[in-house]
Amino acid sequence: MIEGLFRLDGKVALVTGGAKGIGAMITQGLVESGAKTYISSRSASACEAFAQEMSQYGTCIALPMDLSNLDNIERLCQQIGEKEEKLDILINNSGVSWGAKLGEFPEKGWDKVMDLNVKSLFFLTQGLLPMIKAASSPESPGRIINISSVAARIAGGLDAFSYNASKAAVENLTKVLANKLAKDHVLVNAIAPGFFPTKMTSHFDEKELIKHIPLNRTGNPTDMAGLAIFLCSKASNFMTGTYIPIDGGQLIA
């Protein structure tokens, strides 16, 4: 019963923002677990380079695309559709942040974050739903995993107003989609990372942040990969609509 519980052999996955940061951690976990994994990111060079690096562990294919506008989302859906008949796993990871003081926060900082973190997530999911449903059955549900953040539930102080709001929207949208797609045997869950050292978090004082993390450390790649593999594997077949913090206890501190 336990053998192969966390293996993803034969599965096809797409990870957006899959070449860097948390997306790269998830990508490596999926590839090493046997999934044929497509990655998409705005930087074509980074996407191609990381796909080549991951090919030592399994199958990883780069499909570079800037997902901040609907035309490119349609192109990515078309490209996946030309290569595959079904899609077992969609990881909606692409995201951006913006920081500014309340009285100075610009409209472009609001729109850029909400468009990529929420709007693009929704329309990419919409565009790929036929392929995800084609891969889904009661015994082997399809997976949509949205990357939210502990920022969805934290009111304190990074002056990232649109980012916090966007990640709260992702949490709620996850529940709405989970309810809507349950009848189609598609599981929709959200991962909510705390502090993981990435390019997006590089400007923070790590030592200061650790003071607010009960486990007294930051997250590492195997922490993130482990949770993603679990949510993509048959070990989580009875889970949908969940919001799972992976934060070293930050939300309970």
Q: What is the pLDDT along the chain (253 residues), one digit of tens a residue?
A: 788 999 999 999 999 999 999 999 999 999 999 999 999 999 999 999 999 999 999 999 999 999 999 999 999 999 999 999 999 999 999 999 999 999 999 999 999 999 999 999 999 999 999 999 999 999 999 999 999 999 999 986 678 999 999 999 999 999 999 999 999 999 999 999 999 987 777 676 788 889 889 999 999 999 999 999 999 999 999 999 999 999 999 999 8
**Cα–Cα distance list, 138 to 56, 91, 146, 234 (Å):** 33, 20, 21, 11
**Tokens for 19?**
């070449």
Q: What is the pLDDT of residue 189?
A: 98
- 3-state secondary structure at position 187: strand
Name the residue among 239, 231, 129, 247 with its Cα closest to residue 184. 129
Domain layout of the chain by residue ranges: 12-252
Q: What is the pLDDT of residue 209?
A: 82
In CATH terms, the fold of domain 12-252 is Rossmann fold (3.40.50)
Instruction: Please identify which of the residues 38, 57, 163, 243 carries the catalytic annotation.
Output: 163
Interatomic CA distance for residues 233 and 30, integer angstroms: 10
Interatomic CA distance for residues 17 and 220, integer angstroms: 17
- 3-state secondary structure at position 168: helix
One-letter amino acid of 10: G
Query: Strands 186-193, 243-246: parallel, antiparallel or unpaired by DSSP?
Result: parallel
Whether 243 is catalytic is no
Q: What is the pLDDT of residue 104?
A: 95
Residue 143's contacts (CB-CB under 8 Å, 6 or more residues apart) are 88, 89, 90, 132, 186, 187, 188, 189, 231, 232
Residue 144's contacts (CB-CB under 8 Å, 6 or more residues apart) are 90, 92, 125, 132, 177, 181, 186, 187, 188, 189
